[in-house]
Amino acid sequence: MRREVLVSGEPGHAVSVLLQDTLHARRALGHDLADDEDDLENTAGASPFVTGEDVAGWFNDNREQILATAQEAVTNGDPDTAARLLARIWAVIPASTDAAWCDALRDCGRRLKASLPNSRTMATVFRRSAALFLERGDHRIAETEGMRELAIWRRLDDPDGHVSALNALARTFQARGRLNRVIDCASRRLAVDVRHGRTIEVAHDLRHLGVVMLQANRPDTAVDYLTRARDAFDELPQTTAQQHADVRILLGRSLWLSGSPSSARRQFSGALQFVVDVDEDEADRIRELLDTPLDGVLPPINHETTG
């Protein structure tokens, strides 16, 4: 089903129609609409979209009108409403959209940020624009947009938003092969959580830093962070047996790569004690580590870097 964007009449009405259409589009694309839940009940009429192909067809047919409506909203409309519109548009743009169109919409956000320096909605605008540019392979622009989002959360001193922005920015740096900046994001994430007294998050941050250091071939530094992570998890009453084992496996791998296989085996043995009666598959994987000769190579085990 195709639907044209309203381009005649009052500009404010065109914005209202586009806000509704982009909300319908997000629903058709299967997005989590928690951030738009206040508008869900006020969305008029049946959705004009059934599938993602419907959304792509609507967008490609109307993209010039969509851009013009966004530009008008930013230039002459209410800034908060314009920010909501930009956030929704970025969420439904096909990745194949040409660079000139994306750059023009990105300019809307650049102009609007001066009016809304502490807007959570503008943070969403920059997060979504960064995600699209990252998907397109435009890593430099994705990094710039991610830095703009980060600046907002830093000013708000919101730890959840701040950490989430750092994680998103780290993915962009990872894609660019800038591992030193990934480490910087991880260190700043730890600093945020320490400053806000978030003990559970600090334990995960220390683990995350240890894994990043392993990726950077810095096992000695990984040992330091993972030792702190192990101790932090040990102090948390809600830590699961699998989490206790996981951090000890990572610490053991770091020790092994640092040239201390005997110390590594002690960590593996400790990990096995935590899961031997509760997770047979994990116990078998740890036994593989323990069976590795002292001069051998440890079998690979996947561990998510986010911790």
- Which of 58, 92, 112 terminates a domain? The answer is 112
Name the nearest CA neighbour of 229 among 265, 192, 254.
Answer: 254
Q: 104 and 15: one domain?
A: yes
How many domains, in total, are found in the chain? Answer: 3
> Residue 281: what residue type?
D
Q: 43 and 60: one domain?
A: yes
Evaluate if pTM is beyond 0.85.
yes
- With respect to residue 125, please indicate whether it lies within any of the assigned structural domains: yes
**pLDDT tens digit string along 220-275?**
999 999 999 999 999 999 999 999 999 999 999 999 999 999 999 999 999 999 99
* CATH number assigned to the domain comprising residue 222: 1.25.40
Buried b (16+ CB within 10 A) or exposed e, 8-47: eeebeebbebbbbbbbbbbbbeeeeeebbeeeeeeeeeeb
- With respect to residue 132, please indicate whether it lies within any of the assigned structural domains: yes
> Residue 120: what residue type?
R
Q: 259 and 193: one domain?
A: no
Q: 193 and 119: one domain?
A: yes
- Which of 112, 135, 159 terminates a domain? The answer is 112
38 pLDDT higher than 70: no
- With respect to residue 220, please indicate whether it lies within any of the assigned structural domains: yes
Strands (E), 130-282: none
- With respect to residue 265, please indicate whether it lies within any of the assigned structural domains: yes
Domain residues for the domain of 66 are 1-112
Please report the pLDDT score of residue 7 as a whole number.
Answer: 46
Q: 253 and 189: one domain?
A: no
**3-class DSSP assignment, residue 295:** coil
**pLDDT tens digit string along 142-170?**
999 999 999 999 999 999 999 999 999 99
CB-based contact 248:270 (threshold 8 Å): yes
- With respect to residue 202, please indicate whether it lies within any of the assigned structural domains: no
Side-chain half-sphere exposure of 21, counting CA atoms within 13 A: 27
- Which of 134, 164, 197 terminates a domain? The answer is 197
- With respect to residue 276, please indicate whether it lies within any of the assigned structural domains: yes
**pLDDT tens digit string along 176-229?**
999 999 999 999 999 999 999 999 999 999 999 999 999 999 999 999 999 999
* CATH number assigned to the domain comprising residue 126: 1.25.40.10
Side-chain half-sphere exposure of 171, counting CA atoms within 13 A: 19
Name residue, tokens 């078998």: 284
